């Protein structure tokens, strides 16, 4: 596989602190903006780090749960804001102990197939945590929330999940990394959400049966005291070693207009989904 991590220029946009108080919907708009910019050759390959306060991001299938309103009410009662994304995937927990990384590449010169996209992110994570690189495995962890063929685990316990987004010849490979906190507690929240939202009813779509014990944070798995901010710093240093030049910072003035367009679209889609309940 081509070494996509080695770039002449990497752009690094850190929102691991500045984004905490903002809605995850803003992050979806940011990634759409970066896909557009990188895909159209208006920006170099980019990595964005982002963290949000207590939220649960739901997918389209979650929105179709027979008692979704009661499920969302449960999340709010537990202190988590439910967000509906207009894409695939299932419920994912975000909180200050979960670091999200978006890796945005261009497909203008050559297509990046889905499996290659996943492998690029797996390689990045192994480079980010060399002390356990040989123990990290990628396969579906049955009983986890938002299960997928590229769940990342150590000794059978999932600590990360990967997704992809394609737009305007750009591809955003996104991962959530449970760094701090309890993987079991996050999984219990999602388990309770599905139980309340299903109430034992049979559905065409097979929702996951959550087994909290199959999920953990990296701190729990490594028996270390890693922090989200420490991981962001390590990632920054890694990118320096993988490029000839680093560009650091937020969107520029001329890019903000594009972001405003994508944010409006994301907000409208989310409102449309909510109004269908």
Annotated catalytic residues are: 146
Task: Annotate 205-227 with DSSP letters as a single string.
Answer: S------GGGB--HHHHHTS---
Find the distance separating the first CA and the last CA of the chain, reported in whole Å: 44
How many angstroms separate the CA atoms of 220 and 181, rounded? 8
How many angstroms separate the CA atoms of 45 and 171, rounded? 10
Taking the CA atoms of 36, 38, 40 and 42 in sequence, report the sign of the dihedral they define. Answer: positive
Taking the CA atoms of 109, 114, 115 and 119 in sequence, report the sign of the dihedral they define. Answer: positive
Nearest to 100 by CA among 48, 152, 34, 171: 48
Q: Which residues pair with 154 in a beta bridge?
A: 136, 157
Q: Which residues pair with 104 in a beta bridge?
A: 46, 172
Q: Which residues pair with 215 in a beta bridge?
A: 158
Q: Note whether 152 and 161 are within 8 A (CB).
A: yes
Residues listed for the chain = 277
Nearest to 87 by CA among 103, 63, 65: 63
- Residue 134, SS3? helix
The phi and psi torsions of 46 (rounded to 5 degrees) equal: -130, 145
What residue has token string 């979960």?
98
């Amino acid at each position: 596989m081509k070494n996509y991590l080695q770039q002449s220029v990497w752009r690094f946009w850190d929102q691991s602190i500045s984004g905490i108080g903002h809605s995850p919907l803003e992050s979806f708009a940011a990634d759409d903006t970066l896909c557009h910019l990188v895909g159209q050759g208006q920006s170099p390959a980019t990595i964005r780090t982002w963290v949000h306060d207590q939220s649960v991001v739901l997918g389209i299938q979650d929105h179709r749960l027979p008692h979704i309103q009661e499920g969302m009410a449960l999340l709010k009662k537990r202190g988590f804001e439910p967000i509906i994304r207009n894409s695939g995937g299932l419920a994912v927990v975000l909180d200050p102990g979960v670091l999200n990384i978006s890796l945005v590449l261009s497909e203008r010169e050559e297509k990046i197939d889905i499996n290659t996209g996943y492998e690029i992110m797996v390689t990045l994570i192994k480079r980010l945590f060399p002390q356990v690189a040989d123990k990290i495995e990628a396969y579906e962890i049955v009983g986890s929330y938002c299960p997928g063929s590229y769940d990342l685990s150590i000794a059978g316990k999932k600590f990360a999940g990967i997704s992809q987004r394609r737009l305007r010849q750009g591809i955003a490979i996104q991962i959530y990394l449970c760094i701090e906190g309890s993987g079991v507690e996050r999984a219990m929240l999602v388990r309770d959400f599905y139980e309340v939202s299903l109430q034992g009813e049979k559905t065409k779509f097979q929702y996951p049966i959550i087994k909290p014990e199959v999920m953990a944070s990296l701190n729990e798995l490594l028996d270390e005291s890693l922090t989200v901010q420490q991981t962001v710093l390590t990632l920054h240093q890694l990118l320096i070693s993988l490029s000839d030049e680093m560009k650091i910072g937020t969107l520029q003035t001329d890019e903000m207009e594009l972001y405003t367009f994508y944010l409006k679209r994301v907000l409208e889609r989310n409102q449309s989904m909510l109004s269908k309940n």
